[in-house]
Amino acid sequence: MERIETSDEGGPNGAPACSLLAKDLEPCQLVIFGATGDLTARKLIPALFALFRGGNLPKPCSIIGCGRTALDNDGFRQRLAENSPADLAGHPRWDEFTSFLHYRTVQYEAPQSYGELAAFLKELDKRGGTGGNTIFDLAVPPDVYPVISAQLIDAGLAGENDVGRGWTRIIVEKPFGHDLASAKVLDAALHRGFSEQQIFRIDHYLAKETVQNTMMFRFANSIFEPLWNRDYIDHVGIVSAEELGVGTRAGYYDRAGVLRDMFQNHMLQLLAMIGMEPPAGFTAERIRDEKTRLLGCLRPFTAPGQEDALVLGQYGPGRIKGRAVAGYRRENGVRADSLTPTFAMLRVYLDNRRWQEVPFYLISGKRMARKDTRLVIQFKEVPHSMFREVIGGKVGANRLTFGIFPDEEINLSFQAKVPGPRICLRTTDLGFKYYDDAFGPLPTAYEKVLLDCMQGEQMFFWRQDGVELAWAFLDPVLEICEQCDDRKARLKFYEAGSWGPEEARGLMDDLMG
């Protein structure tokens, strides 16, 4: 299904465009550190351009790119046009949009650079009328987060609501540290000058429409919530499979691996969305309270019975869509003897009344058979089958599947009679396509993230207590992956283009079938 992007051209089927805004936006400056990097060109600028075309940027608004590379404004604009995967320069409104773009060369470790940046922002704010409101977006490698945040604080750029200054916010991309200890160090560095209300920790999975829809599905419909517990649900599968290998991210990925890259953030957030208790109200703090409580219920990985709860794998050579691809160890930038896992299946339990002894399977891997992110709710078999004497077998259990990407849909399987004189059952589906009958602009994840930050809405951003609980659970798993004596024996190899190692293949075939 073709993805509908936010634009100025209205919705599908001729429906008129409508605003994405929950409330009016205040004017602001958006300062992007790492402005000459890949994330800015691929995600941030296309998202901002889409918001601009749809009339969903603040008025007025200034976008200031900051990086080590020496560029002027025109050079920055040209670089963005050349490096973006979209044909930005070919759009008739690109030149209009670039009038908002500015560039400043900043040496991240040099206090003088931030003094000059502060003076430039003050002058630009005065000319542009942005009310002193500023967002700092750290689109830089994680080890630079503390450096830039400290310099902003020391330069007096972190405060807000001072004389002549409005609000100030800072956006931090994942990963939030590489373990619990480093996450606490990063948090302390940020909180030296920024309050929790100013910090927006991005997990772009949470900005996906289909992920947010799981919460609406649960709490806006009365028919499923009574079944959403250990009495009716047998197990839950949360899968994020990728066709791609590590690509240009090998330098980062070979240090991080699949658990740091996917589990501490995306996978545990999907678990929280599926498993949390109903919030008392639809507010950011109420919802984040419940997700944090849920993460606090994770059974420690070191508890008895968890010995076989982890399967680790690394892709070897294989074929993707008929094309031969190299194994992980042959990728550029990867060590020839690397033991970094590119696949993990982790079985977890939640020790609370609702979910006691219901297994949740968190699975993610690279170079899989296809790109597919889904949530699978497997219900229990019927306790007594009145048909067993007739059909001579089991009656298939119901299954609810949330397609996150690329199939953005919800399907519920159920049993029905096969037409004809014989008594035979067949499994069939009730289906819902997420974008059927949709109208108006439909934002991509980064559009939604940036828009929420501009509105000061933190509902779908991480809070620090949730970050720490996620790392506290994952640290013992990482210790097994990286420090145990049998690390090499634990790593199972799988063919690129398959559904992972043999030890996980049965479950994967079932969940992805």
Q: Which two tokens stand for residue 58?
A: 């603040």
Q: With contact defined as beta carbons under 8 Å apart, do 361 and 382 qualify?
A: no
Cis amide prior to 60 (ω within 30 degrees): yes
Residues near 245 by beta carbon (within 8 Å), at least 6 away in sequence: 315, 325, 326, 328, 331, 342, 366, 367, 496
How far apart, in Å, are the Cα atoms of 232 and each of 286, 380, 398?
27, 6, 10
Residue type, 405: F
Residue matched to tokens 């899989």? 368
191, 235, 266, 384: which one is catalytic? Answer: 266
Residue matched to tokens 């691996």? 257
| Cα 330–chain centre separation | 28
Buried b / exposed e over 204-216, threshold 16 CB at 10 Å, is bbbbbbbbbbbbe
Return the ∠ at Cα 144 (arms to 266 and 116), rounded to 5°: 130
Query: How many Cα atoms within 13 Å fall on the side-chain side of residue 112?
Result: 1
Q: Beta strand pairing status for 399-405 and 168-172?
A: unpaired
Residue matched to tokens 């987060």? 145
Q: With contact defined as beta carbons under 8 Å apart, do 184 and 215 qualify?
A: no
**Cα(140)–Cα(39) distance, integer angstroms:** 8
Residue type, 414: F
191 is catalytic: no
**Cα(452)–Cα(277) distance, integer angstroms:** 24
Strands (DSSP E) along 367-424, which ranges?
372-379, 399-405, 409-417
DSSP states of 130-155 as a string?
-TT-EEEEE-S-GGGHHHHHHHHHHT
Residue matched to tokens 């997990």? 203
Catalytic residue ranges: 266
